[in-house]
Amino acid sequence: MTVAVVGFPRRSLLETAWTACRPRVHSLALHCCCPANQLAASSLRTFRSSRKAPNAGISWSEALSKDQDIGKVIFSGIQPTGVPHLGNYLGALMNWVDMQNAAAPEDTLLFSSVGFHALTMPQDPNVLRRDRRDMLAALLAIGMDPKRCTIFQQENVPQHAELAWIFNCITSIGKLRRITTWKSKVAIARHAQNAASEADASTSEGELNLGLFAYPVLQAADILLYKATHVPVGEDQVQHLELSRDIAHVFNRTHGTNLFPSPQHIITPTKRVLSLRDPSQKMSKSSPDPNSRILLTDTPQQVRKKLQRAVTDDERVLSYDPDARPGVSNLLGILAALRVRSNFAQGRNTPALSPGDIADELNKAKGGAAGAGTLKAEATDAIVEALQPIQAELQRLEKEDGYLDTLAREGAKKAAEIAEHTMCQVRQCTGLA
């Protein structure tokens, strides 16, 4: 398969790119108890016994280093919202490619498009069907290689839903009510109804669906189904991973087993990319303004138009200050990350510059005062350059009739072998087998 981005060294490119602005998923044990799944069991002999990992987050380069235990299992997922935007790419997907290329042969990496999670919000079936396909194609176009990791669609592996139900039965409502994302959804619903009393608050919460309330439990099932030892997560998902650890502990304690490990979160080296139109919010497809985001399929003309409309400020000298100058700092961060990727792809052994360094460089080039216009032009060129190979690969994939369907089937088969092995053990522990 032709990929858009070629091999990377064992050290993260992005860890040096955004050092100045860094704030900001299992191993197997026991024998398969189902006779029908002996093939799955035999294919998993290389997996190590489960062991609990410490809860402190580490960088992914540390997680994949030779000093760590061998046989690591890394899981991560993304909702199939169609073609990813630049925030998805820089905030998560580019890290997936780096992890894939840095992993040792004995490591197991699973990356999933999580369609069940998409159903927590209303969906047009035809649009969702297209979005699932577009996301799969995008993962390949950015450089994910099915020969080096398992790429699959969660909804094609029914064991995810089975384990989620079992976890639902041991997870208290109180724990889920304390999840920050649920609180925010309730607050949004309350605001929409202009609620002013406890009765109104109860009504606003009642308008939300059970799937949205319980989706962190499904996330835990996604992770623990493969007994992930490490999970790359953003800052807004750390609480969900803590719930996964808690569920693993409750299950193990309840059933007197050490079946599930305590997954460790991998700190991603990039902070989230912000909206071009409202830099107080992260870049998202949920924004009604299409100019707030850059899609990986945007033409050079579309990129230029969106960057020209990006919110910045009127100061004549560029500086990196996320609190005081969020719009300018967002573009500097994007430019810093993309420059590192460009330098490596072109074989240039150039030291990585932080966003602040880039601001100084642009100011110097303009006689000490480079305004937002200069920054927007530089960011436009960098984004267009980064998107060209991805778009070329997407066009190639569109011409390969049936390839994506074959990839989806093969990925689901590989994931299901591991998933069924785990579920054999779970059914035995719970008395369902």
Q: What is the pLDDT of residue 233?
A: 81
Instruction: Calculate ∠ Cα 384-322-239, nearest 5°.
Output: 95
Confidence of residue 196 (pLDDT cuts 50, 70, 90): very low
Residue 205 has pLDDT above 90, yes or no: no
Q: Tens digit of pLDDT for each residue in 143-175? A: 999 999 999 999 999 999 999 999 999 999 999
Q: What is the pLDDT of residue 27?
A: 33
Residue 276 has pLDDT above 70, yes or no: yes
Q: What is the torsion angle, in degrees rounded to the nearest 10, for the CA atoms of residue 402, residue 403, residue 408 and residue 411?
A: 140
Task: Give the C-alpha separation, 71 to 220, whole Å.
Answer: 21
Confidence of residue 42 (pLDDT cuts 50, 70, 90): very low
Q: What is the pLDDT of residue 7?
A: 30
Q: Are strands 230-233 and 264-267 parallel, antiparallel or unpaired?
A: parallel
Q: Please spell the DSSP secondary structure of 347-365, one letter per residue.
A: T--PPP--HHHHHHHHHHH
Residue 128 CB-half CA count within 13 A: 16
Q: What is the pLDDT of residue 17?
A: 40
The tokens of 403 are what?
């390839």
Confidence of residue 186 (pLDDT cuts 50, 70, 90): confident
Residue 344 has pLDDT above 80, yes or no: no
Q: What is the pLDDT of residue 354?
A: 93
The tokens of 267 are what?
């700190």
- Comparison of pLDDT for 62 and 203, the residue scoring more: 62
**Catalytically annotated residues:** 185, 282, 285
Which single residue is written with the structure tokens 């436009």?
Answer: 380
Cβ atoms of 280 and 326 closer than 8 Å? yes
| pLDDT averaged over every residue in the chain | 84
Mean pLDDT for 109-132 is 97
Q: Tens digit of pLDDT for each residue in 30-39? A: 334 443 343 3
Mean pLDDT for 355-363 is 97
Q: What is the pLDDT of residue 190?
A: 66
- Comparison of pLDDT for 330 and 71, the residue scoring more: 330
Task: Give the C-alpha separation, 74 to 149, whole Å.
Answer: 10
Share above pLDDT 70 across residues of the chain, in percent, rounded to a whole number? 78
Backbone φ/ψ region at 225: left (φ over 0), alpha (ψ -120 to 50), beta: alpha
Residue 15 has pLDDT above 60, yes or no: no
Residue 43 has pLDDT above 60, yes or no: no
Q: Please spell the DSSP secondary structure of 119-157, one letter per residue.
A: TTS---HHHHHHHHHHHHHHHHHTT--TTTSEEEEGGG-
Task: Give the C-alpha separation, 430 to 255, whole Å.
Answer: 7
Cβ atoms of 313 and 327 closer than 8 Å? yes
Q: Is 403 exposed, middle or buried (0-12, 13-18, 19+ CB in 10 A)?
A: middle
Q: What is the pLDDT of residue 14?
A: 40
Domains in the chain, ordered, with CATH?
Answer: 13-273+402-430 (3.40.50.620), 290-398 (1.10.240.10)
Cβ atoms of 144 and 96 closer than 8 Å? yes
Quote the pTM value.
0.81
Residue 230 has pLDDT above 80, yes or no: yes
The tokens of 250 are what?
């409750």
Task: Out of 244-248, 264-268, 411-415, pick the least confident.
Answer: 264-268
Report the SS3 class of residue 234: coil
Mean pLDDT for 240-256 is 97
b vs e for 219-248, b when ≥16 Cβ sit within 10 Å of the residue's Cβ? bbbbbbbbbbbbbbbbeebbebbbbbbbbb
Task: Give the C-alpha separation, 116 to 70, whole Å.
Answer: 31
Q: What is the pLDDT of residue 3?
A: 29
